[in-house]
Amino acid sequence: MKFWAAVAAVSLLTATEAAAAPQVLQANPSDVKSRNIEGRSFKLAQIKNVHFNQHGKGPRALAAVYEKYDIELPETLLTVLRQILLDIGFDLRARSLMSARAPDNATAPYNNNTGQGEVTATPIPFDVEYLTPVDIGNPPQTLPLCFDTGSSDLWVFSSNTPVSQQGGQKLFHIDNSTSAQKLQNHTWSIRYGDGSGSSGEVYLDTVDVGGIKVENQAVETANQVSSSFTRDEHSSGILGLGFQSINMVRPNKQKTFIDNALKSLAMPLFTANIRKAAEGNYNFGFIDETEYLGNLTMIPVDAASGYWKFKGTAFSTGFNGTNSAISDIVVPLEHPAIADTGTTLLMIPEAIVQAYYRQVANAYDSKIYGGWVFPCNSTLPDLTLYISSYKAVIPGELINFAPADLDDPATATICYGGVQSSRGFPFAIYGNVFFKAHWTMFHVEEKKLGFAPRSGE
C-alpha cells in the first residue's frame, strides 16, 4: 500500500517494541490504596437524552469540539453546519444571526466586522446524548448535567437565565434554595469558537452527586447562555472534572466539585465506563474490577495544563487485526493529548488520520459533510494508539460514528468517521470513541490516568 511505502524510511517498531516512557506502571486494583477507610464510594449511571437529535450528528460533534476549545471553525464545516441547522428547523435569521458582545480584550476568532465590538455567530448545537443527575441546593433540585473532564466549571441554566435564552431546560431556582449564597464580586465567562459565550454570577451552595454532599461548592449560574446550548432542552449545564487552573471564575478561581469531594471519598479517584449506544456510568471513590480486563496501565498526567493531559507515542492500523503484516507495524508519532469525556469524537494528528483512512476504500475528507466519511458498508480496520507502553485498540466498528447522507443507519450509504483530525488544535483529544473501548481511571490525588480494555457489554 502507498502509505506503508511512504513510511518505509521512518524508524518503525514492532507492536512488542513500542517505546515505553518512564513512570508507566502496570497496576493491580489492590495497588491503588484507599486514603479514607471511612470514605464513601458510589456508582452513578448516565441517563439518555431522549431529545437528542440524530440529524447531522457527525458534523455537529466535530463543530462542538471546535467551539469548546475556542478554535475558529473551518469555513467548509461552518457551511455544512448552517445547512444542518436549517434542516432541523433552526431559524438562522432570527437566532443564529444574533450578535453577542465580545469581551473588551477579545482576540481571534472574534470577527469584529461592525467596529463596535460585536460578532455574528452561527450557533453550534451542543446536544449531549448522555447526561448524569446532580442535586443542587436545599431542598435539592435535580438537574441533568454533562460530566466533562475537559473543563473545570460547574455551570447551570438558572432562574437568572433570560427566558429568551431558555429552551425548556430544568432550571436551578436560586431563590428556592435556603443555602444559596452569592459569591460577591465574582463572575464567570466562557467563550466559544463562533464568538458567542456564556456567563453569569457565582453562588456557593450544596451539591450532591451520588450521595456525596459538598457544601459551599461554587455553582456558576448563567445570566447569558450561548444559543448553542439553548436548543438542547434536556441538558441543564456542565459539571467539569478537570483541574482548578482552567476554572473560569474571576477574580478568584474556584475549586471543582471533585477537588472538594476528595476528602469524603474512600479513594481519591473516579472512573469512566462509557458504553457504545447505551448508558454508561461514573464511579467515584472505588474501582469496579468487573468493568475492565487485565491490569491497569498507569500514565502520569501533566496537570499543570488544567487538563488530563498525557503523551501519545505511536500508532498502527490493521484490518481488524487479521493482517499481521500491517498490524505489527508501529509508527512512532509522539503527540500531546487530553482525556476528555465531554468530547464525542477521537481527534488525533492529521498524519494518523490520513494513514488510517487510506486503509478504507473510497474514504475521503468531505467538504459536503465537513469531515472524513466512507461508504457505510465498509469493513473498517482497527486503529491502535500507543500511550507509552499501553496498547489502545479502537475497534473499527466504533469508528463508524454516524450516518452522513441520511439519518437512518439502515438506509444511509455514506457514514461519518469517529476519528477526525486535530489539525489546528493544541493537542489531540481522546473523546468518547476512545472511552467506549477503554475503561479509564482518573486518579485526582496522584494526577495519573489508568487505562484498561473495557469488559464486554
Could you please report the per-residue DSSP string of 210-269? TTEEEEEEEEEEEEE--HHHHT-TT--EEEE-S-GGG--EESS----HHHHHGGGBSSSE
The C-alpha cell 441543564 sits at 236
How many angstroms separate the most distant Cα atoms in the chain? Answer: 68
Dihedral, CA of residue 62, residue 64, residue 65 and residue 67, to nearest 10: 130
d(CA 318, CA 326): 5
Cis peptide before 109 (omega within 30 of 0): yes
d(CA 452, CA 297): 7
Q: Which one of 127, 148, 153, 208 is the catalytic residue?
A: 148
Are the C-beta atoms of residues 52 and 61 closer than 8 Å to each other?
Answer: no
User: b/e string for 436-455 if b means 16 or more Cβ within 10 A?
Assistant: bbbbbbbbbeeebbbbbebe
SS (H, E, C) 113-127: CCCCCEEECCCCCCC
104 given a catalytic annotation? no
- Is 197 exposed, middle or buried, given 0-12, 13-18 or 19+ CB atoms closer than 10 A? buried
Residues 6+ apart with CB under 8 A from 312: 333, 334, 335, 336, 337, 348, 385, 386, 387, 428
Q: Is residue 208 helix, strand or coil?
A: strand
- Is 290 exposed, middle or buried, given 0-12, 13-18 or 19+ CB atoms closer than 10 A? exposed
d(CA 81, CA 83): 5
The C-alpha cell 448552517 sits at 82
382 given a catalytic annotation? no
Q: Which residues pair with 333 in a beta bridge?
A: none
Q: Which one of 127, 194, 340, 382 is the catalytic residue?
A: 340
Among the listed residues 229, 236, 279, 234, the one whose alpha carbon sits nearest the alpha carbon of residue 49 = 234
d(CA 388, CA 280): 27
DSSP secondary structure letter of residue 292: B
Length of the chain, in residues: 457
Rounded to the nearest angstrom, the gap between the alpha carbon of residue 171 and the centroid of all alpha carbons in its chain is 23
Q: Which residues are catalytic?
A: 148, 340
